[in-house]
Amino acid sequence: MSRLALASLAFAAFAHAHLVAWTQGMYCKNGTDAGVDNVNNDAPVSPLYQLKYSDYWFHGVNGCNNFPPADGEFLELPAGGSFTAEIADNRAATTLSFNGAKTSDWPDGAWHPDGYSIENTADADASIVHTQNESMAAGTAFAISYTSDITQVNLNNLVVFSVRYMTPYKRVVSYDVPADMPACPEGGCTCAWMWIPNGCGLANMYMAGYKCQVTNATSTTPVATPQAPVWCEDDQSQCVQGAKEVMIWHQAEGNNVEVDGLDDSGNWRSPAYNWKMGFADGAQNDIFQNSGSQKREEAVLPSKRHTRRGHGADGKVF
């Protein structure tokens, strides 16, 4: 086979790898057929591209946002601790199906060599992780909104609280929780998992919903109103400090981040949950009121931000 054919084969394989973070408390965990527990569920996994708000927000495109977890089931977030999620292309490849009998170290339940990547696919089935190698994986995030009603969650009250650089890569991922996370209201909080892959396949994004609870909370200071992050790879002093919004990118409406040109490695800039957009690895400890975000808010020109982000006069999106 020619080098070109090989390259496009690998590229095509990249493009069909779709992943989501599976946990207790997630929406759509049993699938989208009422009363059916689909152990081979991949309903929350599909990527979101050029969709309207109601279709991308909490994966409304196939109704995932209408399938909350069973009563009392939550993703638990221990303040000052960490929790794990299983990133996989199907529930079958996680411990949530078949008692974990079909899991492997990887998100597709298959065996892959160490250092698995597009540059090292010993099994030529090619990479399912959208990355050249682990160090190039874009990063993923969890965000929280202090409301139990998913229909009340919007860009202005959903705050990124945990980031893991160099994911998705292997199946099990640990996310750190800020020690100062306050407790959730009665009925819990609503969380989201977010991922924008970098330059492998279609420029799309991923979003999934969870009912979540903060355990072991000691602080009562609320999270601050988040700001849209900006590209700051070349100058970290330009990064937005404090609470940040989730990133909406390449959708038909409501996009809140923009990037142009090439990044420092010569590839097209792609917004990611990493230093390039000002996200630290691990717990986002600066997201609380009076923890630095207030000061920054004054420094951002409101008129400019609102135009760029397409906010209405009341601050709501659209």
Ligand X SMILES: *[C@@H]1O[C@H](CO)[C@@H](O)[C@H](O)[C@H]1NC(C)=O
Tell me which residues touch ligand X (CB under 6 A): 30, 37, 69-70, 78, 81, 132-133, 135-136, 215-216
Q: Based on CB atoms, which residue is closest to ligand X, 215 or 241? A: 215
* φ/ψ (deg, to 5) at 62: -120, 20
CB of 130 to ligand X, least distance (A): 13
CB of 156 to ligand X, least distance (A): 28
Read off the tokens for 69.
């977890």
- Other Cβ atoms less than 10 A from the Cβ of 198: the count is 23
Q: Calculate the CA 233 to chain-centre distance.
A: 19
CB of 293 to ligand X, least distance (A): 25
- Cis status, amide bond into 168, omega within 30 of 0: yes
CB of 316 to ligand X, least distance (A): 29
* φ/ψ (deg, to 5) at 201: 85, -160
Q: Based on CB atoms, which residue is closest to ligand X, 127 or 251? A: 127
CB of 265 to ligand X, least distance (A): 6
Question: DSSP assignment, residue 253?
Answer: S
Q: Based on CB atoms, which residue is closest to ligand X, 120 or 290? A: 120
Rg (CA), the chain: 19
Residues 6 or more apart in contact with residue 187 via CB below 8 angstroms:
148, 149
Q: Based on CB atoms, which residue is closest to ligand X, 117 or 284? A: 117
* φ/ψ (deg, to 5) at 137: -60, 135
Please, are residues 227 and 305 in contact by the beta-carbon 8 Å criterion? Answer: yes
Residues 6 or more apart in contact with residue 2 via CB below 8 angstroms:
none
Q: Which residues of 140-158 are buried (b: 16+ CB within 10 A; e: fewer)?
A: bbbbbbbbbebeebbbbbb
CB of 215 to ligand X, least distance (A): 5
Q: Based on CB atoms, which residue is closest to ligand X, 8 or 135? A: 135
* Integer CA distances (angstroms), 290 to 32, 62, 180, 275, 297, in order: 41, 39, 12, 23, 11
CB of 91 to ligand X, least distance (A): 11
Q: Based on CB atoms, which residue is closest to ligand X, 81 or 201? A: 81
Q: Based on CB atoms, which residue is closest to ligand X, 47 or 69? A: 69
